[in-house]
Amino acid sequence: MPAYLGEFEQLVLLAILRLGEDATGAAIRDLIEDASGRTVWIGAVHTTLDRLAAKDLVASGRTEAAPGRRPRKVFTLRPAGRDALGQAWSTWSRMTRGLKPRLESFR
Amino acid sequence: MTPALPPGWARGLVRRLLAPADREALLDDLDEGYGRRRARGRRALGWYLAQGVHAAATRRHPVVLPPAQATTRGAMRTSLTADIVASFRGFRRQPGAVAIIVLSLALGIGAASAMFTVTRAVLLTPLPYGQPDGLVTVWTRWTSFTKTWISSQELLDFRDRSRTLEDVAAWDTTRVTLTGLDEAVRVGAALVTPNTFGVLGVRPVAGRDFTAADAPSASDTSRSTTVVIGYGLWQRAFGGDPAVVGRTIDVDGASARVIGVMPKGFRLPTDFGVDAAEPTELWQPVSITPANAQRGSHYLYAAARLRPGSTAAQADEDVARVMRDLTAEGQYPPERQYSALAVSVPDEVLGGVRPALVVLMGAVGFLLLIACANAGALLLARAEARHREFATRSALGASRFRLVRQQLVEGALVAVAAGGLGVGLAFAARRALDAFGPTAIPRAGDVAVDGLVLAFLVGASTVAALLCALPPAIRALRLDLVHGLKDGGTRASAGRARLRLRHALVVAQVALAVVLLSGAGLMLRSLWSLQRIDLGFRPEGALTARIAVPSRPYDTAARQEDFFRRVLTGVRALPGVEAAGLVRSLPLGAQIGDWGVRVEGYTPPQGENAKGDWQVITDGALAALGARVVHGRDFTAADTAESMPVALVNETMASAYWPGGDAIGGRFVQGGSPDPVTVVGIVADIRHNGVEAPIKTKFYRPYAQFAEAFEPLGGGTLVARTTGDPLALAAPIRGVVRALDPGVPLAAVRPLDAVVATALTAPRLTSTVLGAFAVVALLLGAIGIYGLLAFVVEERSHELGIRMAVGARGGQIISLVVRHGVTLAAAGAVAGSAVAAVATRAIASQLHGVSPLDPASFVAAPAILIATAVVASLIPAWRGARVDPVVTLRR
């Protein structure tokens, strides 16, 4: 059974998926802030990443050093993370099936 | 393009805050975020700091806790961090209350720092001399003068005969015109004895000091061919060019070689006082020897270096003895009572403002205390509200130390915030002081914020933090666990004991505010009475400018006379000009001294001689000043060198020497001239040497006749009265003068009412600043009373509910609460008035026409405070009256 994800955890995992190789903490934060319109604290992002790493859902690595550029800490999805995200998406899809017109009207 | 990086200090700060575990990754992320925000044109620095601080606070404890091996030191730091975080969280719950605490402290710290900045520059920064405490100024006095110049022979006498003076220097100030530069420059100058800079203990920063060889020999009457210039003039006129040493410049049409430049900030002692408006910036040596010295002509300022071990008081006695000896030897007529005095240079320079600044420093200390009491009372209120929380924490094992520390941390955080805000306020207040003008306070222009000022700020903030955290900390120490936990369930007994400390703080605050209010009231009443003094002329609607001609080509009385006549004709032809004239000494703008006279038909009492302040004016000058001729006539253009010698006298002189009322037509002889002059008019008395200075006998001579009988004055102050804005006349008048001779500059162009305002600067400064302090104190007092009563009403809501349930009406509740507030204010007012009765003696010397125990001030101050207390009580009272018995009794 894949791990259960909190909302912010889902957002962080989605951000990593979307950013691919460029998933630095800062990029993740910006993406979530832009999408949600809420203030997102970098400390909170790292705390969540720590928790996800502890659950083996993400892994961190370092980018190659390039001229004039420091190596950066970046995050990738572990297989368990993909499973958990897939599970969350399925749950979401099932729960929203047939509700789309009404949900649209709530926005 | 490389992305923007945050400023180094911000990055360094955040780096220090972050825990080492993920410091680098977080810093990278923060940098990236900063760069992106900047790239999008958004404000990034505040964001960066907020994100950094938040990350530091939340990331202190990573998910995977490290093994519990933390050292005591580490634990201490962690729990200190926890205290800080807890304080911030507490502050966020009550932002309004915290803002008031911070603001009131900031007002106190800001005001104190601003005052200290000025005090430091004026009183604490050493004067620009070597060992200024070893310097005295030397003056003479006799029946005509209480403190005046010395003569050249007296300079030599003091050098030879004094036992306390190592060396004596002397100078004569004047104004010269420098030509041959891009434009003619008019500067203050002095002819100095060659030892002057040596006596003052100052060496030039470039070039060399004068030697005796630089001064023209005793037989040579021409000026020296060497000059030393001031730093300011060097920068202004020569662009700070080091090659100026050795250069030849034109001083009043004679060429002279620059041999040295004095250091920045150097001034002669007289430049802080009588010559402050136009300090000397160019010095030429003059030699005074037995061959050319004169005893009768007093025109030199003098300063002397004390012998090691001698004091200014001893020197004062010593120079008086020298004069006594000379009188005994027959050098002076005994009935003139010739004597001399020595004043230490620091007293000479700062004597006038020191008392005002000391008073204001004391007042600002009161204000800081009030602010601390206020913040302390408000913090205490917060602590009271959290009484139960503390009791619980204590029961769960928190040590008293932890609880006290929490309070101290809160106080420190508040003080840091207030200190930061206070710096801003201090700068703003400094700028406000500049509005009083550069000559208002000697040396205030040299004000700078430096290490000592910052140290004072940090010190004041620390003291403030401790003072305001003390009451809640004491409260935390005296925490009664059992009561604390039991309390809060029922609130029927608010417990007077618990409120005693807060009551005491509010009363103290009110008392201090009453002291400040009383002082401010006295100063305002004094200023008011000063401003109602009849000056004898009309300050509004007139422009003044100093004008002087160089001695070449204006070397004769006729040439000068002709030039000034043409200037006045030109000025009078300007549109809007009602009258214009030239005066030798501008009332309240320059000091006037007296001249001995022999009045026909008047015999002075034994030991006295008739004298009068000597004023020289052209026709039109009295009309331009707005002075009144009460009898007889004013001077006219017909009073020339060739016509009958005439004079005007003031009312005081008329009644002193012609007590029969027959002054007009009376005659007197001005000392040194053989011809008697006839009085043709009486002028209303004018305040000349100061708004408060006593009015002395004074006579006026026409410019042309004075120049003929004595010597041409070479200049004076041009006064022009206009129907419009006086300042609008400045450019046209400059135009008139330039058209006649571009080499004649105008200086000190200012409206006459500005001259008067400057004369009132010290009382205006003291009353304005004290008044501002008093208003702030009043505000803080009101906040204190409001805060306490709001708390009391909250605490007593249960009791108030019971009262209402048994039939009390809203009005009764309101009067109950307001009475509480008024009682506090009255207690403070009584205590404060008692303190004020003693404290206001400190300003007695600065009061004019008001007793230090002036009843009006002593009634008004408590009355204003009690009225404020009523207003401050009304909101909590109204809230108390709206207590719903059903709700409060159910709680």
Residues on chain B touching A50 (C-beta within 8 angstroms): 62-64
Closest CA to B295 of B150, B114, B184, B415: B150
Spell B137-171 as b/e; 16+ CB within 10 A means b: bbbbbbbbeeebbbbbbbbbbbbeebebbebbbbb
Chain-chain contact of B36 with A30 (C-beta, under 8 angstroms): yes
Asked if residue B219 has pLDDT above 60, the reply is no
Residues on chain A touching B62 (C-beta within 8 angstroms): 47, 50
Asked if residue B668 has pLDDT above 50, the reply is yes
* CA pair distance B714, B757, nearest whole angstrom: 28
* CA pair distance B388, B376, nearest whole angstrom: 20
Please check whether residue A27 touches B, CB under 8 A.
yes
Query: What pLDDT shows up at residue B257?
Result: 92
Asked if residue B566 has pLDDT above 90, the reply is yes
pLDDT digits (tens, 9 = 90+) for B459-497: 877 887 777 777 777 766 666 655 655 554 444 344 555
Q: What percent of chain B has pLDDT over 90?
A: 25
**Gap from A101 CA to chain B (nearest CA, Å):** 35
Q: What mean pLDDT comes out for the span B552-558?
A: 81
Chain-chain contact of A44 with B57 (C-beta, under 8 angstroms): no
Query: What pLDDT shows up at residue B352?
Result: 64
Using 50, 70 and 90 to split pLDDT, how confident is the model at B432? confident
Residue B683 tokens read as 């002028």
Residues on chain A touching B27 (C-beta within 8 angstroms): none
**Gap from B405 CA to chain A (nearest CA, Å):** 27
Of A25, A47, A51, the CB nearest to B29: A25
The answer to whether residues B107 and B373 touch, using CB atoms and an 8 Å cutoff, is no
Query: What pLDDT shows up at residue B318?
Result: 95
DSSP string across B648-677: EEEHHHHHHH-TTS--TT-EEEETT-SSEE
ipTM surpasses 0.85: no
Closest CA to B204 of B243, B251, B146, B262: B262
Chain-chain contact of B25 with A68 (C-beta, under 8 angstroms): no
Asked if residue B261 has pLDDT above 50, the reply is yes
Residue B466 tokens read as 């401790």
Of A27, A30, A46, the CB nearest to B26: A46
pLDDT digits (tens, 9 = 90+) for B779-823: 888 887 887 777 777 777 788 888 888 888 888 888 888 888 888
Residues on chain B touching A47 (C-beta within 8 angstroms): 58-59, 62-63
Q: What mean pLDDT comes out for the span B288-298?
A: 82
* CA pair distance B272, B443, nearest whole angstrom: 7
**Gap from B420 CA to chain A (nearest CA, Å):** 26
Using 50, 70 and 90 to split pLDDT, how confident is the model at B367? confident
The answer to whether residues B375 and B414 touch, using CB atoms and an 8 Å cutoff, is yes
Please give the single-letter amino acid code of residue B7. Answer: P
In sequence order, the β-bridge partners of residue B548 are: B715
Q: Can you list the positions of beta strands (E) in B704-839?
A: 715-722, 746-751
**Gap from A80 CA to chain B (nearest CA, Å):** 20
Tens digits of pLDDT across chain A (107 residues): 677 888 999 999 999 999 988 899 999 999 999 999 888 999 899 999 989 998 899 999 888 777 767 788 899 999 999 999 999 999 999 999 888 888 888 87
**Gap from B58 CA to chain A (nearest CA, Å):** 6
The answer to whether residues B631 and B664 touch, using CB atoms and an 8 Å cutoff, is yes
Chain-chain contact of A50 with B62 (C-beta, under 8 angstroms): yes
DSSP string across B471-534: HHHHHHHT--HHHHHHBTTB-S---HHHHHHHHHHHHHHHHHHHHHHHHHHHHHHHHHHHHTS-
For testing the chain B interface, which of A42, A60, A75 should be mutated: the one with the most B CBs within 10 Å? A42
Spell B650-688 as b/e; 16+ CB within 10 A means b: bbbbbebbbeeeebbebebbbeebeebbebbbbbbbbbb
Residue in chain B closest to A51 (alpha carbons) equals: B63
In sequence order, the β-bridge partners of residue B612 are: B595
Please give the single-letter amino acid code of residue B239. Answer: G
Of B30, B33, B58, the CB nearest to A47: B58
**What is the distance, to the nearest Å, from the Cα of residue B235 to the centroid of all Cα atoms in its chain?**
27
Closest CA to B142 of B332, B274, B348: B332
Query: What pLDDT shows up at residue B66?
Result: 37
Whole-number Cα distances in Å, B677 to B561, B648, B673: 20, 10, 10
DSSP string across B378-411: HHHHHHHHTHHHHHHHHHTT--HHHHHHHHHHHH
Query: What pLDDT shows up at residue B488?
Result: 47
pLDDT digits (tens, 9 = 90+) for A78-105: 999 999 999 999 999 999 988 888 888 8
**Gap from A88 CA to chain B (nearest CA, Å):** 23
Query: What pLDDT shows up at residue B811?
Result: 85
Please check whether residue A69 touches B, CB under 8 A.
no
Q: Which residues have a Cβ under 8 Å from the Cβ of B410 and sit 6 or more positions away?
A: B87, B90, B379, B382, B469, B472
Instruction: Compute the CA torsion angle B753, B756, B761, B767 (nearest 10 deg).
Output: -80
Chain-chain contact of B54 with A73 (C-beta, under 8 angstroms): no
**Total number of residues shown for chain A:** 107
Query: What pLDDT shows up at residue A22?
Result: 86
Please check whether residue B222 touches A, CB under 8 A.
no
For testing the chain B interface, which of A46, A49, A56, A60 should be mutated: the one with the most B CBs within 10 Å? A46
pLDDT digits (tens, 9 = 90+) for B849-864: 888 888 888 888 889 8
Please check whether residue A59 touches B, CB under 8 A.
no
Asked if residue B774 has pLDDT above 50, the reply is yes
Which is it for the CA torsion B725, B728, B730, B736, positive or negative? Answer: negative
* CA pair distance B663, B666, nearest whole angstrom: 5
pLDDT digits (tens, 9 = 90+) for B223-260: 678 999 999 899 888 888 888 999 999 888 888 999 99
Please give the single-letter amino acid code of residue B622. Answer: L
Q: What is the mean pLDDT of chain B?
A: 82
Say which residue, B438 or B23, is predicted with more confidence: B23
Residues on chain B touching A25 (C-beta within 8 angstroms): 25-26, 28-29
Of B28, B33, B63, the CB nearest to A73: B28
Query: What pLDDT shows up at residue B415?
Result: 82
Please check whether residue B59 touches A, CB under 8 A.
yes
**Gap from B47 CA to chain A (nearest CA, Å):** 10
Q: What is the pTM of this model?
A: 0.61
The answer to whether residues B19 and B61 touch, using CB atoms and an 8 Å cutoff, is no
Chain-chain contact of B33 with A72 (C-beta, under 8 angstroms): no
What residues 626-685 of chain B have any CB closer than 8 A to a CB of chain A? none
In sequence order, the β-bridge partners of residue B145 are: B142
Q: What mean pLDDT comes out for the span B293-312?
A: 88
Three-state DSSP at A79 gives helix
Task: Choose the weakest-confidence range: B126-135, B150-159, B435-444, B722-731.
Answer: B435-444
Residues on chain B touching A38 (C-beta within 8 angstroms): none
Which residue's entry shows tokens 């009898």?
Answer: B631
Asked if residue B336 has pLDDT above 90, the reply is no
Closest CA to B124 of B428, B364, B459, B444: B444
Query: What pLDDT shows up at residue B433?
Result: 67
**Gap from A48 CA to chain B (nearest CA, Å):** 9
Which is it for the CA torsion B284, B287, B292, B298, positive or negative? Answer: positive
Asked if residue B289 has pLDDT above 60, the reply is yes
Which residue's entry shows tokens 């009764």?
Answer: B812
Asked if residue B625 has pLDDT above 90, the reply is yes
Query: What pLDDT shows up at residue B275?
Result: 62
Asked if residue B50 has pLDDT above 50, the reply is yes
Crossing angle between the packed helical segments B855-881 and B496-531, to the nearest 10 degrees: 140
Q: Are strands B646-650 and B698-702 parallel, antiparallel or unpaired?
A: antiparallel
* CA pair distance B31, B53, nearest whole angstrom: 14
Please check whether residue A51 touches B, CB under 8 A.
yes
Asked if residue B169 has pLDDT above 90, the reply is yes
Using 50, 70 and 90 to split pLDDT, how confident is the model at B741? confident
Closest CA to A43 of B93, B33, B7: B33
Cis peptide before B553 (omega within 30 of 0): yes
Chain-chain contact of A42 with B25 (C-beta, under 8 angstroms): no
Using 50, 70 and 90 to split pLDDT, how confident is the model at B85? confident
DSSP string across B153-192: HHHHHHHHH-SSEEEEEEEEEEEEEEESSSS-EEEEEEEE
φ, ψ of residue B332 in degrees (nearest 5): -125, 145
In sequence order, the β-bridge partners of residue B720 are: B543, B580
Using 50, 70 and 90 to split pLDDT, how confident is the model at B58? confident
Q: What percent of chain B has pLDDT over 70?
A: 89
Say which residue, B421 or B387, is predicted with more confidence: B421
| Ranges of H-type helices in B796-809 | 797-805
Please check whether residue A25 touches B, CB under 8 A.
yes
Chain-chain contact of B55 with A30 (C-beta, under 8 angstroms): no
Chain-chain contact of A26 with B30 (C-beta, under 8 angstroms): yes
Long-range CB pairs of B672-679, under 8 A, 24+ apart, other chains included: B672/B710, B673/B709, B673/B710, B675/B645, B675/B709, B676/B600, B676/B645, B677/B645, B677/B646, B677/B647, B677/B701, B677/B705, B678/B644, B678/B645, B678/B646, B678/B647, B679/B632, B679/B646, B679/B647, B679/B648, B679/B649, B679/B654
* CA pair distance B192, B215, nearest whole angstrom: 9
Query: What pLDDT shows up at residue B486?
Result: 55
DSSP string across B273-284: TTTTTS-EEEEE
pLDDT digits (tens, 9 = 90+) for B109-157: 888 888 887 787 777 777 889 899 999 999 987 655 567 778 889 999 9
Whole-number Cα distances in Å, B846 to B318, B357, B359, B853, B865: 31, 11, 10, 13, 25
Say which residue, B240 or B577, is predicted with more confidence: B577
pLDDT digits (tens, 9 = 90+) for B7-48: 888 888 888 888 887 888 889 899 989 998 888 888 888 889
Which is it for the CA torsion B571, B576, B581, B584, positive or negative? Answer: negative
